[in-house]
């Protein structure tokens, strides 16, 4: 690869996204890698209608619980190696992390838990964050650039959601969550690709909207999907954007272009 285009999308069910034309859309995006979250299918349920576009390769980590969670990496080049999970049985059974190594870089599809359904799930989210942070630190020591794509289920700053004042006590914008992702993007050494190109942007870059109250039509959204890169790779991003013109899910695809050629 000399140039690279990466797409990430929480599909909110791969079958539903496929019915809405996601696979056909992806086939025309000139993309090299697509990270998917919340695919919500088991391996034995995969059919040709749920395959990536012709000529692509697919790797997945499926949740043990039927119709739940799960992540995948689709790519034009076949990965040299795919590693499932982070070594924590509680969360690996939910299908949360899949890392694929290519010749030029490592790409990770990540699905952080949502804590909105109950206090118990919020506690699980915090547990996942506590074990993910040292795992991310180990990825930083890889011998190749690393890109972590996915639904982080956290809006980092007040610029990253429309109604931040009303959501300070809600999962996804809790002080502890924001402090954690701030640490990942600060002393943890990772770079938020989209925000790096749009440092002052407000009211744009949203990737998720509630399905109530015409939130998407009114752009009352949250920016909770990120492509997070090691510094060497972040220096090579040339463009990043949210594809607003499609509606495969309650999330929108987040896309970034990188140049992997040595600077002239």
Closest CA to 79 of 100, 107, 106: 100
Q: Is 190 helix (H, G, I), strand (E, B) or coil?
A: coil
Give the side-chain half-sphere CA count within 13 A for 20.
15
Say if residues 146 and 233 touch (Cβ distance below 8 Å): yes
Beta-carbon count within 10 A of 50 CB = 17
| Candidates 30, 51, 92, 151; catalytic one | 151
CB-based contacts of 217: which residues, under 8 Å, 6+ apart? none
Say if residues 102 and 142 touch (Cβ distance below 8 Å): no
Residue 151 appears among annotated catalytic residues:
yes
Say if residues 35 and 10 touch (Cβ distance below 8 Å): no
The catalytic residues are 151
């Amino acid at each position: 690869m000399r140039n690279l285009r990466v797409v990430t999308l929480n599909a909110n069910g791969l079958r539903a996204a496929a019915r809405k034309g996601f696979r056909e859309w992806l086939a025309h995006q000139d993309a090299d890698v697509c990270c998917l979250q919340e695919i919500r299918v088991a391996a034995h349920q995969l059919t040709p209608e749920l395959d990536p576009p012709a000529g692509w390769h697919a790797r997945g980590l499926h949740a043990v619980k039927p119709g739940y969670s799960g992540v995948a990496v689709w790519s034009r080049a076949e990965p040299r190696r795919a590693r499932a999970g982070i070594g924590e049985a509680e969360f690996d059974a939910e299908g949360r992390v899949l890392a694929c190594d290519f010749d030029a870089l490592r790409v990770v599809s990540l699905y952080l838990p949502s804590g909105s359904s109950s206090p118990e799930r919020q506690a699980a989210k915090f547990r996942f964050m506590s074990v993910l942070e040292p795992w991310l630190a180990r990825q930083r020591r890889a011998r190749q650039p690393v890109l972590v794509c996915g639904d982080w289920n956290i809006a980092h700053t007040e610029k990253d959601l429309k109604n931040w004042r009303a959501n300070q006590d809600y999962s996804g914008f809790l002080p502890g969550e924001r402090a954690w992702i701030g640490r990942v993007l600060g002393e943890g050494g990772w770079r938020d690709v989209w925000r790096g190109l749009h440092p002052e942007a407000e009211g744009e870059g949203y990737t998720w909207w509630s399905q109530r109250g015409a939130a998407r039509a009114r752009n009352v959204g949250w920016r909770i999907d990120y492509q997070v890169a090691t510094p060497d790779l972040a220096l090579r991003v040339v463009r990043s954007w949210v594809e607003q013109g499609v509606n495969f899910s309650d999330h929108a695809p987040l896309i970034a272009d990188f140049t992997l050629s040595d600077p002239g």
